[in-house]
Structure 1
Amino acid sequence: MTSSFDYTPPGLADGVPGAVRRRHVFYVPGYDPEGSSRYRMLFVRELTRYAKRFGEPKPSITRATMNADETVQSWRVAAQPETGGAETSYDVLLWDDIVRNDFQRLRLVSVALLVVGTLQAITSGMMVRFYRLNWKYGNVILYPLLMVVVLALCTVAIAAFVHAHLGTGFAHSLGWPLWATIPAGLVIGLAWVKAMEALLNRIFFWQLLNDWVFNWQHGRGSRPDYERRLELFADHVHARCSAFAESGDIPDEVMILGHSSGALTAVEVAARVLARAPDLGCAGQTLALVTLGSGLPLVALQPRVDRLRDEIATLVTSRRLVWVDFQAPQDWMNFPGFNPVKDLDLDLRGRPAANPLVRSARFREIISAETYMKVRWRPFRMHFQFLLSNDQRGYYDFFAMTLGPQRLRERVLNPVLPEPGPAILAP
């Protein structure tokens, strides 16, 4: 069964024969201030659940190490002879320090940036395009602005109440002058917003606000800190791959993998690595790019992103790598059906499209009915399903893709699935 938006490009490159015995994964987390701790914990927990759920031996995972500037976290997963699983090395490319800096910005500055960015998206017609691609994501984008309006109205109402009861005109007022009651009312109103901080964090207000502001700024070319990190990531991937070639110990598959906002980062890094390394992806090695639950249109549809669109065009026409974009209609924070070949004004210079393969992750097949009923109205939980253990065997399988013996291209076109059987429910 295929999804209505599944797409295989006509110029798809031929596959490389043979199973993967060794794989190296460069993983890019999304816009997350706790990326350096969250992904490692999530990976170990979910792999443990996966092994228990499907009756497989739990692979051995080494301790995580950090490079000197704390931008790359690494570990290794041992091969699995029982299942044919590959030995897999992980490099997590970290940019959570950039995200934390955004969270430390003066709140009023963040709110002002949100208002300007959202109003620009609305007046330029870009918001309409977001809604056409996924109305749920459109609501997620507008949610912080609507919350700002609600908080502002509540603050004004509190300030007016305080002013009325401290100033003149009410039987029980204290008779304070106007120059004292208005500031006092505003201070108390803003203090109420500050007291709501824990609740605002629980409902992901600041997370979604800062995420949208970041994507808007990136589209305007006003994130030099992120641009420097992209160059550092590309240098790291290139250096790793060069070291593999020099030692003669070349992995069968090198995979650049990004989730959520990290999917955009993975796209930008992959394009820059191809430009740096003209031999990468040749001579029997598979270079794979995987984007999961991508928010690529948030930046790619903005008017001042010529470099990004050129990078996407390079990947779309390259036969040196295989790019697979997994989407999910159940996920509020991606764009199911988005296809850069069809939906972006790319200059392919007359070359045929060889990427990406667009596929549905088919969450309804891999999440049990009981779990689905619990999480369908929890957008962040559903968004992270791309990285979690399946409840049931299915076409999309994060751990089979990153640890299994099939190369990405074959995994997508002709997946070898274990015989269906009852899962062993893990707690």
Structure 2
Amino acid sequence: MPALWWRLWRSGYVGRFRREARRFSRIIIGVHVVYLVLVLASLGAALGLAALIPAETAWRFLAAPPLAYALLAGLMKLTRGRPLYVPHLVDDTTFTHAHAGGAEAGMAPRLSAFAERIRAAEGQVNEIVVIGHSSSSFLGIEVLDRLLAADPGFGTRGTPVTFVSIGSVIPWLGLDERAEAFRAALGRFAQARAIGWLDIRAEWDWLSIHLRNPVAACGLPRPPQVPPSEARPAVLRVNVRDLVTKEALRTRRYNLFQLHFQLLMSAVSETSFDYVALVAGPEPVHALVRRAAEDDDAPALPEEVV
């Protein structure tokens, strides 16, 4: 972990990340600070316990590291990392930046297999919808880019294809200097007119990155000017009060993970975004993309974040 954060700091990633993900970056950095404190506390407790071993036992302090590990693991298991889900976010951060540099060798065959599964559905269904929530937002783009590389005509043969990113964290990966392959994939996908792209954003979600267009946020040039109905991505903004009741929000507002996953649940409002209606409702998702692009009248966000 120290080596990773030294690399991210030295490369300027931390500054870029904090500008693009003002809330999310606080959570990620804060969680790692908490984790470091827990590691040091576990080590301190282990050294204290080791000091209780008789002094004539030469190896007594050699027991401190494994004992510290056991204490930390026990604490994580007992609390399940709550309330900040520390082990999950630490592991997720490690994976994200390892994947940025291609160090997660096991991901390539899995992404290719998923791409083939999606490709096989063309012509067999009314429409194809690929949904990426949170970290799956950048994995979904990689899958579809692989598919288009293998079959450039995918999405043009009568079966509508749509990618839906929900609570996405695309710049989390894309801002890493080692993520050259991903940025290239993102740039290609941004130009892939045959596949629709809907970005469902929740400004109240601290575990997503939603400040501006994810393509621009990753430092890529904006796609050519296109009609509003073909904007990439089309944007659908969600109000948390449309998803849960006021009473439920009072108890959940500080549970950031529960709110993050609230986007994948049904809503209390019958007229707002509803995930169940998205995947099982009567309106085709590709039609929703067009409608969202035409209805999005929110003020444009600046290309450069101050």
1:140-151 aligned at under 5 Å gives the runs 140-151=27-38
Which residue of the partner structure matches residue 234 of structure 2?
Answer: 357
Query: Residue 177 of structure 1: which of 48, 53, 56 is its match?
Result: 56
Structure 1-normalised TM-score? 0.61
Contact 1:238 1:276 in 2 (8 A): no
Instruction: Report the Cα offset of residue 335 of structure 1.
Output: 0.4
Structure 1 or 2, whichever has the larger Rg, is 1
How many angstroms apart in 1 are the aligned matches of 2:259 and 2:89?
15
Instruction: Report the Cα offset of residue 190 of structure 1.
Output: 3.8
Note the alpha carbon deviations across 1:29-54, whole angstroms, 9 max, x for none.
Answer: xxxxxxxxxxxxxxxxxxxxxxxxxx
Query: Residue 408 of structure 1: which of 275, 282, 285 is its match?
Result: 285
Instruction: Report the Cα offset of residue 278 of structure 1.
Output: 3.2
How many angstroms apart in 2 are the aligned matches of 1:163 and 1:401?
57
1:201-212 aligned at under 5 Å gives the runs 201-203=80-82, 204-212=85-93
1:179 to 1:342, Cα distance in 2 relative to 1, 3 A: same
SS in 1 for 2:197: strand
Query: Residue 181 of structure 2: which of 304, 307, 313 is its match?
Result: 307
Is structure 2 residue 212 aligned with structure 1 residue 338? yes
**Which ranges of 4 or more aligned residues in structure 1 deviate by more than 3 Å?**
162-166, 184-191, 350-354, 412-415
1:315 to 1:160, Cα distance in 2 relative to 1, 3 A: closer
1:324 to 1:182, Cα distance in 2 relative to 1, 3 A: same
Contact 2:242 2:267 in 1 (8 A): no
SS in 2 for 1:234: helix
Which residue of the partner structure matches residue 24 of structure 1?
Answer: none
Is structure 2 residue 107 aligned with structure 1 residue 226? yes
Instruction: Report the Cα offset of residue 231 of structure 1.
Output: 1.1
Contact 1:366 1:393 in 2 (8 A): no
SS in 2 for 1:196: helix
Instruction: Report the Cα offset of residue 290 of structure 1.
Output: 0.4
Higher relative contact order (Cα pairs below 8 Å, separated by 6+ residues): 1
How many angstroms apart in 2 are the aligned matches of 1:294 and 1:373?
24
Query: Residue 142 of structure 2: which of 268, 277, 295 is its match?
Result: 268
Instruction: Report the Cα offset of residue 379 of structure 1.
Output: 1.3
Point out where structure 1 has 5 or more consecutive residues left out of the alignment. 1-113, 167-173, 245-249, 416-427
Is structure 2 residue 169 aligned with structure 1 residue 292? no
1:282 to 1:183, Cα distance in 2 relative to 1, 3 A: closer
How many angstroms apart in 1 are the aligned matches of 2:64 and 2:161?
60
SS in 1 for 2:272: coil
For 2:239, the aligned partner's letter is R
Which residue of the partner structure matches residue 388 of structure 1?
Answer: 265
Instruction: Report the Cα offset of residue 135 of structure 1.
Output: 2.9
1:61-100 aligned at under 5 Å gives the runs none
Note the alpha carbon deviations across 1:38-85, whole angstroms, 9 max, x for none.
Answer: xxxxxxxxxxxxxxxxxxxxxxxxxxxxxxxxxxxxxxxxxxxxxxxx
Query: Residue 131 of structure 2: which of 257, 269, 293 is its match?
Result: 257
SS in 2 for 1:338: coil
Is structure 2 residue 153 aligned with structure 1 residue 279? yes
Note the alpha carbon deviations across 1:324-359, whole angstroms, 9 max, x for none.
Answer: 1112122121102231343233257x8446411123
How many residues align structurally? 286
How many angstroms apart in 2 are the aligned matches of 1:351 and 1:138?
30
Which residue of the partner structure matches residue 199 of structure 1?
Answer: 78
Instruction: Report the Cα offset of residue 191 of structure 1.
Output: 3.5
1:368 to 1:413, Cα distance in 2 relative to 1, 3 A: farther
Contact 2:243 2:262 in 1 (8 A): no
Which residue of the partner structure matches residue 3 of structure 2?
Answer: 116
Which residue of the partner structure matches residue 192 of structure 2?
Answer: 318
Which residue of the partner structure matches residue 40 of structure 2?
Answer: 153
For 1:198, the aligned partner's letter is K
Query: Residue 138 of structure 1: which of 15, 18, 25 is its match?
Result: 25
1:239 to 1:148, Cα distance in 2 relative to 1, 3 A: same
How many angstroms apart in 1 are the aligned matches of 2:261 and 2:50?
46
For 2:104, the aligned partner's letter is R
Point out where structure 2 has 5 or more consecutive residues left out of the alignment. 293-306
For 2:90, the aligned partner's letter is L
How many angstroms apart in 2 are the aligned matches of 1:162 and 1:315?
56
Q: What RMSD, in angstroms, separates the aligned Cα atoms of the two structures?
A: 2.5
How many angstroms apart in 2 are the aligned matches of 1:253 and 1:165?
67
Which has the larger displacement, 177-186 or 220-229? Answer: 177-186
